[in-house]
A and B are shown apart, each in its own frame.
Chain A
Amino acid sequence: AQRVTQPEKLLSVFKGAPVELKCNYSYSGSPELFWYVQYSRQRLQLLLRHISRESIKGFTADLNKGETSFHLKKPFAQEEDSAMYYCAPPTGANSKLTFGKGITLSVRP
């Protein structure tokens, strides 16, 4: 099964501090991973995906096959980054798409 693990539940930082939200995966094939974000009282939405290698709202995520990790990073956190973040594998045939437990990011002024 394609599984991801988010080892931390909460990360609290001050505005301007670097952020790293951790995600580890267990895969048998080539992984394609996603980060989703849920702002307060909003629906979950895609933040970024591994395959596109993009930077969204200053966030990046690098796939490290040696460490089987897909950590989400931002060099300077902003208050509007406060949200719940979920790491997830892709949909696919016979895939029970199971999210990580999520991590709450709190950015203090």
Chain B
Amino acid sequence: DAGITQSPRYKITETGRQVTLMCHQTWSHSYMFWYRQDLGHGLRLIYYSAAADITDKGEVPDGYVVSRSKTENFPLTLESATRSQTSVYFCATGLAGVTGELFFGEGSRLTVL
């Protein structure tokens, strides 16, 4: 019973390369989120999805692309990685409704050289 898994957990890449971070859930939660965590900025929302084929921008979407063709998967793609995208990325799922809580993955640490 993995719940929510992120892969890869650690990634080193070079400026300009495309990188995809995967997020998979086994709960069928309707909401999925991608956050980045940086010192001094806390958690910042990149993109979120309310259901399959429904995505929307968060606070810091520039340079990122998401898709959600299936409820259980929510990949995050950096089309051309930059050093400023070096961060820890967290995927989260949640149930709809005002009492919903979020369930987080273990995070993916990305370093862009």
Q: Does A92 contact B (CB under 8 A)?
A: yes
Chain B interface residue count, CB cutoff 8 Å, equals 28
Using Cβ atoms and an 8 Å threshold, which residues of chain B touch A34? 101-102
* Interface pick from A16-24, A55-63, A65-73, A97-105: A97-105
**Given A97-B94, A98-B45, are A92 and B100 neighbors across the interface (CB < 8 Å)?**
yes
Contacts of B101 in A (CB 8 A): 34, 46, 49, 90-91
Contact B42 A92 (CB under 8 A): no
Given A43-B105, A46-B102, A96-B59, A102 and B43 contact (CB-CB distance below 8 Å): yes
Residues of A within 8 A of B48 (CB): 96-97
Cβ of B109 to closest chain A Cβ, rounded Å: 11
Contact B43–A86 (Cβ < 8 Å) = yes
